[in-house]
Structure 1
Amino acid sequence: MKLRKKSAGIAAFATFTALALTACTGGGGGAGGGGEKATEENKPEKLTVAAWMDFPPELLASFEEEYGIKVAVESFPDGASAQTVLRNGLSSGGAGLSDVHLIELDWWTEMMAAPEDWVELPEIEDRWVDWKVTQGSVDGVITGYGTDIGPLGVAFNRDMTSAAGVATDPETFGEFIGGDAATWESFLDAGRAYVATSDNYFVDSLSSAFQAAVNLLPSAFEDPESGDPYNLADNAEIKDLFMTFAEAAEDGVSAGIPIGHADWGAGFQNKEWATVITPAWMAGIIAENADGIEGWRVSSAFPEGGGNWGGSFFSVPATGKNTGWAVRLADYLTSADAAVQWFHETGQFPSQLDAIEDPDISETENEFFGGQRLGEVYGGLAASAGDSAAGGFRGENFAGIQTLVTNGISLVESGSATPEAAWASVVSEFEALGFDTAD
């Protein structure tokens, strides 16, 4: 399988992480303190940045040319590895941390549990969409500068949907899944109609689609006031959503092969499925894995009006020796000009307002997707989602609980359990964790 380090959003597929947060220890210059200032007297020879995706080479070279500071990327194979190193570093007084760290949205709350561990970042007016700044703040203090966002779309293969007699282009596909009034139920019913007339599956993985659906809920797993997890057995909203997807899985709508699975790339090459839930950062990954397979397009319609999946932030640990210059680097890496470079290097859709409107993004034609202007398509999807794209509350245990529940969908996809048995298994695993749950 050809699966490269293409985006921050891939970390959303990380292996189930530890749910109990180790207490973090703080250093000087944390949130509220502002950290040191960048001056010629304290300018280092080198800064380090921890991340798991490809950097535009010109971006790092231009920073070195402007400031005379070399930037070394501490590269990780995936977001889960970066998360583990960061968690361990925070619990040991900053040992082994880089000057700047990339932090993915789904584990942002855990890493920010002790905001004094992080340098307060100066406000930069009118750079980002408002909700991205809110996501990157703790109690109103900015601790992360935003990189990408992940407006949600549906990639589909028009050759396969045409052969099945259901859709020939983005417009007719959008109508097939429900148009402007599309819901998850209408999307899954479209899947049932597709598999009834086709020899392949409708979607690569319903566990992935379910994760996208969870991202749209205002408070999926935890109480926003206390931060405590809801008792999963009593969480009717999640159970109803789970059963909706699990029943579609039982009906054979999905191949049960999510991104990250060893057979995901081969599935594209073998034309095993016709659609993929595709946040903006995944489009480039699909193009690479489906190389040589014609017909892939992205629809402008999405269930429940659209939303967001993924996105990351650059943050500066307060224990670093070069916090002032590290802040300047985080600023540099998240400018509108940098966002345009990220878009062309990795396919990331920007959170920066000027970059979103830049013709270099909105008017760029994507050869793999039949000349579609994906920047324009995803810009429209982001606008349709509006503030709801910010997603719901994500507490310290959000990522772990989400993975646990999503794995239940996988049980049904694999034929290992009925929807009812899979839900019972998920609840049992949750209860074994021994949480003090919200009243």
Structure 2
Amino acid sequence: MPVARAARHVAIRFGAVALAGALLAACGSSSSGSSSADGADGGKVTLTVDLFGTFGYKEAGLYAEYQKLHPNVTIKESDTENEADYWKALQTRLAGGGGLADVQGVEVGRIASVTRQQADKFEDLSALGAKDLQAQFSQSKWSAATAPDGRVLGLGTDTGPEALCYRSDLFKAAGLPTDRVELAKQWATWDGYLALGKQYAAKAPAKSHWMDSIASLYSVMVGQQKERYYDASGKLIYDSNPAVKAAWNASVKAAQDGLSAKLAQWAPEWNQAFSSGSFATIACPAWMLGYIKGQAADAGKGKWDVATLPGGAGNWGGSYLSIPKGAKHTKEAFDFIKWITAKEQQAKLFTKQGSFPSNLGAIDLVKDVKDPYFSNAPIGTVFGTAAEQAPVQVPGLRDNDVNTQITNALGEVERKGTSSDEAWSHAQKGVKNALG
């Protein structure tokens, strides 16, 4: 989250093809479901789970499945749509020691802050048995949640390999090709994508634009970089990184060419636009599939499709599940996050919701999955290839805060007509104020 990581104000809300039957059967017979989550006294336990966006666990039926396996456990989820609001509230609770859930979600753009600055506020999962799970996850996903002293502070949920989602019905109306393979060739580069956008703008249906927002374009472009806002030594480099500036310039140019619907991501108007046709393409990390389904609902089925991302593979978002110090049910919380991040559950979540797994075994299970909602797109192949080819990103201490200030400044360009230079200056001032 989703980003929203990128803030993952993310989401997730399926069915698959022939593989689904065998896959879901495997999920149902998961051996990990036999773990005990009894309370210390054998009584009833209400396990609180606090998340942002929509992780998709409820929608995929995973809470219900877990409660059936553990009849003494009731799961109570709380959810904040905007990750920035969620993180601010979590910081307040961590500082005061009250109001914390048994399980807290942590967006990938925040995980460095947890491991380097807040390790003492979260349980060391290795002491609860996480050491036995390390081989199930990619080294990069595991190490990002590991503190310098070796404490493991979160288990990986999804990752955010990127593609491009598009409305094939709107493409057809504008006289553009709709075949995902042909489109991938035409927009192999970002220049090609923007050139095709100009063609769309010339013949687009009324009140329809090429993209949702330039913030979306910017976020997906910087997600293709190994280093974005910090280098490997931890130095802040956003204002000297040519990749950041290139993404900024491309986004500004898209706004100047009138290719954007000028929608603020995660706002109500943006949500409504998924079904109204206000935009034809959107940068699409895997978790965005579920978000689109949730907003466009049944009316969008068969209108959307998925193609390879311009400019090469990248990653936008992904999250972790952690247990804060002060959680009422530490053992039960670990049993739950161990189960829900196991390969069977992650495979089911991708098949139903589009959240691409971080569990290596799950990645293998979903390689042949197609999505009927997205015109039977081979999402297992598209996102699996992107995950393989995406650079291993350097997690920065305050990545999300930097990203928020930059995308806020891009919003000024898009909606107020602020010049590129002035908006960039505002972004720099915003970063300085945010980081202190």
- After TM superposition, the score normalised by the length of structure 2 is 0.80
Aligned to 1:401: 402
CA contact (8 A) 1:109 1:394 kept: yes
The Cα shift of 1:147 comes to 0.7
The Cα shift of 1:231 comes to 7.4
The Cα shift of 1:50 comes to 1.8
Q: Please show how residues 140-289 of structure 1 align to structure 2 within 5 Å.
A: 140-178=150-188, 182=189, 184-199=190-205, 200-225=208-233, 227-230=234-237, 232=239, 234-289=240-295
Specify the SS of the correspondent of 1:393.
coil
User: Which structure 1 segments of 5+ residues have no match?
Assistant: 1-6, 16-36
The Cα shift of 1:168 comes to 2.5
CA–CA separation in structure 2 for the residues paired with 1:268 and 1:55: 22
Aligned to 1:26: none
Q: Please show how residues 46-195 of structure 1 align to structure 2 within 5 Å.
A: 46=45, 47-52=47-52, 53=54, 54-56=56-58, 58-67=61-70, 69-78=72-81, 79-92=83-96, 94-112=97-115, 113-121=117-125, 122-123=130-131, 124-139=133-148, 140-178=150-188, 182=189, 184-195=190-201
CA contact (8 A) 1:204 1:254 kept: yes
CA–CA separation in structure 2 for the residues paired with 1:366 and 1:434: 41
CA contact (8 A) 2:8 2:107 kept: no
In the alignment, residue 374 of structure 1 is paired with which amino acid? I
Q: Is residue 2:296 matched to residue 1:297?
A: no
Aligned to 1:8: 2
CA contact (8 A) 2:141 2:156 kept: yes
User: Which structure 2 segments of 5+ residues have no match?
Assistant: 10-35
CA–CA separation in structure 2 for the residues paired with 1:339 and 1:222: 30
In the alignment, residue 48 of structure 1 is paired with which amino acid? T
Aligned to 2:346: 339
Specify the SS of the correspondent of 1:317.
coil
CA offsets, 1:372-394, max 9 Å, x none?
23233322222232xx1x42332
**Number of residue pairs matched by the alignment:** 394
CA contact (8 A) 1:153 1:298 kept: yes
Compared CA separation, residues 66 and 370, structure 1 to 2 (3 A): closer
Specify the SS of the correspondent of 2:135.
coil
CA–CA separation in structure 2 for the residues paired with 1:138 and 1:118: 11
Q: Please show how residues 317-356 of structure 1 align to structure 2 within 5 Å.
A: 317-356=324-363
- After TM superposition, the score normalised by the length of structure 1 is 0.80
CA offsets, 1:68-122, max 9 Å, x none?
5414324123234432332122212x32212221111122222331212222222
CA–CA separation in structure 2 for the residues paired with 1:370 and 1:149: 23
The Cα shift of 1:177 comes to 0.6
When the two chains are superposed, the root-mean-square deviation of aligned CA atoms in Å is: 2.9
Specify the SS of the correspondent of 1:403.
helix
CA–CA separation in structure 2 for the residues paired with 1:44 and 1:87: 31
CA–CA separation in structure 2 for the residues paired with 1:10 and 1:434: 18
CA offsets, 1:47-86, max 9 Å, x none?
3222243434753345445555414324123234432332
CA offsets, 1:352-403, max 9 Å, x none?
1222222xx4444422212223233322222232xx1x423321x2211111
Compared CA separation, residues 141 and 295, structure 1 to 2 (3 A): same
The Cα shift of 1:338 comes to 1.6
Specify the SS of the correspondent of 2:305.
strand
The Cα shift of 1:216 comes to 2.8
Aligned to 1:314: 321
Q: Is residue 2:386 matched to residue 1:367?
A: no
CA–CA separation in structure 1 for the residues paired with 2:238 and 2:218: 19
CA–CA separation in structure 1 for the residues paired with 2:145 and 2:103: 15
In the alignment, residue 165 of structure 2 is paired with which amino acid? A
Compared CA separation, residues 240 and 378, structure 1 to 2 (3 A): closer
CA offsets, 1:138-176, max 9 Å, x none?
224321111111110101122332343442210111111
Aligned to 1:34: none
CA contact (8 A) 1:63 1:69 kept: no
In the alignment, residue 92 of structure 2 is paired with which amino acid? N
Aligned to 1:422: 423
CA offsets, 1:334-365, max 9 Å, x none?
1112213323453312111222222xx44444
Aligned to 1:29: none
